[in-house]
Structure 1
């Protein structure tokens, strides 16, 4: 057991041959995963200690930031129209992962280990058992699996607590004469040792329930690119910087007891994964129930943190309250 009373990564049971399955940590039927760590006491302490000046920084990109979203996802369509008596309405048609996003518990299942295996979601729910297509509008008609794992559960709880920024861009640039050791838009890997070294350099000590934000440099590079270069980045095969998917990384993320992780790249982990590694998503979402944030806008946050020499702050994030939702814009802000 860790000093915080939770099992260590190596004490967790395995699911088939996948180590570190946390389905039993918060009890049968759990719908929150590691968001359970954001208790009233944890949130209250974070608010009391971190909110000092009231300065606020959004962590969301505009929904329309990507004219052609990554992975072939549908672009955001925004329709405005006139109503009688001088009124206007508007409608949004979005893919919830077309811009800044939380991946929810319905987004990623375990991969097939051998022929005939089920792909299972958090809690062992078979992915194939859940409906797809146009879903019911009435809660009474919804599949119980969607109600158990939908992102509305996080929306109704809130992903709020102490945020910690590990600014790998500044960390690496300080070590490498102002340069990154990778090209963020074409690949690169960040190790556990480097995350820990960055935390030490920033004077950060983690505590249970922290919301980990990692600035890797993808969005900064994307913003500096020309329109043609941006279109090429969105159209080509996915190769992105991210953390490694090793068991050491899993031990670090679980044993530190983060409530959620997020970054400014399209995938929190190096993508595609190394040939000999299973996706880190496979541990974070279906085995642990941990929110995974991607394409968070961390550049302004980095500037504020560097200017104030504060790498911790209060994070308030309220995903869309969509029953049975797979993912959501984070609707997140850092408050100092």
Structure 2
């Protein structure tokens, strides 16, 4: 079930500029925009969502541990594992610790610097790699692309995760528990493997929403439970190590289709799931990558590796799959991605 779409450009009008990459919406929120679809989370929408969704005060954390991938000694996509150094501040009875980690090695929001249109080599709003990495700036003017200041090392701040940190990712969220829905079929009739390039169709997601009785409203933040975490926990260290040696790795996720992109455009402010790649990976449709369209085309945060197990259990017990989300990304100037620091509040 879905609510009416408010006054946004129809999907058929994308790209808004015929010379821009496919399905892009550059300029919709102005030439210097840094927030993309998070602009949909207006003060009124957030306030209304808080009033309707916060009823019992139950809070559920959605972040997996930062060291979640250390069990097999390596991470998917070859990313650096989380490291922690404990420091006893002798002679005082005081501890510090030092963390070192890739911002995408555990639960994360992909920011707008993460993924660009690959063929055009352009990020959201037409920002080029050299605009981010410091080449081609007029240092005498001290300005980078879209009027953002240049830092002392010559790199710009454009599209940094700090822009999302100013107000966070906050509003009404919905969980589509595909994994629970699939297992409830007797026998299961929807094949899926979290560690194979399997697609979840739009028709399937709509069937999950209908079975849950979940209304999807404009501006919602989508969470998709594919069963990746549950499947991961069944594998031993050797099995995980072998899977992480596969390049490119294979993951189940949402299908790469025009109808899926249209549905996301018409409803959501951000999308996320429990799997390492929100979309099916490697893509089964090379001419359409969701990361390109969502992140680079619309400026939509994409969340991955969320721990949705406790959330799904609570939703099933309460018979309610909508909630209020509070997610405050790390305030790192020029950051690419961030742990979400996310709470579901009921």
TM-score by length of structure 2 reads 0.89
**Which stretch of structure 1 is more off in the superposition, 182-191 or 300-309?**
182-191
Give the secondary-structure state (helix, strand or coil) at the position aligned to 1:157.
coil
For 1:123 and 1:144, the matched residues in 2 are separated by 21
Residue 317, structure 1, aligned to residue 320, structure 2: no
Matched position secondary structure for 1:314: strand
1:82 maps to which residue? 88
Q: State the Cα distance separating 1:49 from its structure 2 match.
A: 1.1
1:175: which partner in 2? 185
How far the C-alpha of 1:180 sits from its partner, in A, is 5.2
Equivalent in 299, 311, 323 of residue 301 of structure 1: 311
Structure 1: which 5+ runs fail to align?
A: 113-117, 133-138
Cα distance in structure 1, aligned partners of 2:18 and 2:292: 11
Q: 1:296 to 1:142 in 2, by over 3 A?
A: farther
Cα displacement (A) at 1:81: 0.7
The answer on whether the counterparts of 1:15 and 1:21 sit within 8 Å (CA) in structure 2 is no
Match of 2:252 among 241, 256, 275: 241
The answer to whether the Cα contact below 8 Å between 1:166 and 1:214 also exists between their aligned partners in 2 is yes
Cα distance change, pair 54–253 in 1 and its aligned pair in 2 (3 A): same
Distance in 2 of aligned mates of 1:171 and 1:229: 26
Tell me, what secondary structure is at the counterpart of 1:149? Answer: coil
Counterpart pick for 2:61 among 47, 58, 62: 58
CA shift at 1:36, angstroms? Answer: 0.7
Asked if structure 2 preserves the Cα contact closer than 8 Å seen for 1:99 and 1:329, the reply is: yes
Query: Hey, what's the Cα distance between the residues in 2 that align with 1:240 and 1:329?
Result: 21
3-state DSSP class of the match of 1:141? coil
Alignment of 1:217-232 (within 5 A): 217-232=227-242
Aligned equivalent of 1:135: none
Q: Does 1:158 align with 2:173?
A: no
Deviation at 1:129, TM superposition (A): 2.8
Matched residue, 1:252? 263
| Correspondence list, 1:91-170, <5 A | 91-112=98-119, 118-131=120-133, 141=151, 146-170=156-180
Matching residue within 14, 31, 49 for 1:28: 31
| Pairwise CA RMSD | 2.0
Q: Give, in whole Å, the separation in 1 of the partners of 2:229 and 2:342.
A: 17
**Equivalent pair of 1:260/1:292 in contact (CA under 8 Å):** yes
Q: What is the CA deviation profile of residues 82-127 of structure 1, one whole-angstrom value per residue up to 9, with x for unaligned ones?
A: 1142211111011000111111100001011xxxxx4000010112
Cα distance, 1:45 vs structure 2: 1.1
Determine helix, strand or coil for the equivalent of 2:166: helix
Say whether 1:266 aligns with 2:293. no
CA contact (8 A) 1:152 1:322 kept: yes
Aligned counterpart for 1:46 among listed residues 29, 49, 56 = 49
> How big is the shift at 1:275?
4.6
How far apart in 1 are the matches of 2:283 and 2:230? 22
> What is the SS of the residue equivalent to 1:66?
helix
Alpha-carbon separation, structure 1, partners of 2:150 and 2:40: 29
Which deviations, in whole Å up to 9, do the C-alpha atoms of 1:39-98 show, x marking residues without a partner?
111111111111111111111100001012210000111011111422111110110001
SS in 1 for 2:12: helix
Partner SS for 2:233: helix
Distance 2:177 2:341 in 1: 21
CA 1:81–1:210 in structure 2 vs 1: closer, same or farther (change >3 Å)?
same
Q: TM-score, normalised by structure 1?
A: 0.91
- Compared CA separation, residues 41 and 270, structure 1 to 2 (3 A): same
In the alignment, the residues of structure 2 paired with residue 146 and residue 217 of structure 1 have an alpha-carbon distance, to the nearest angstrom, of 39
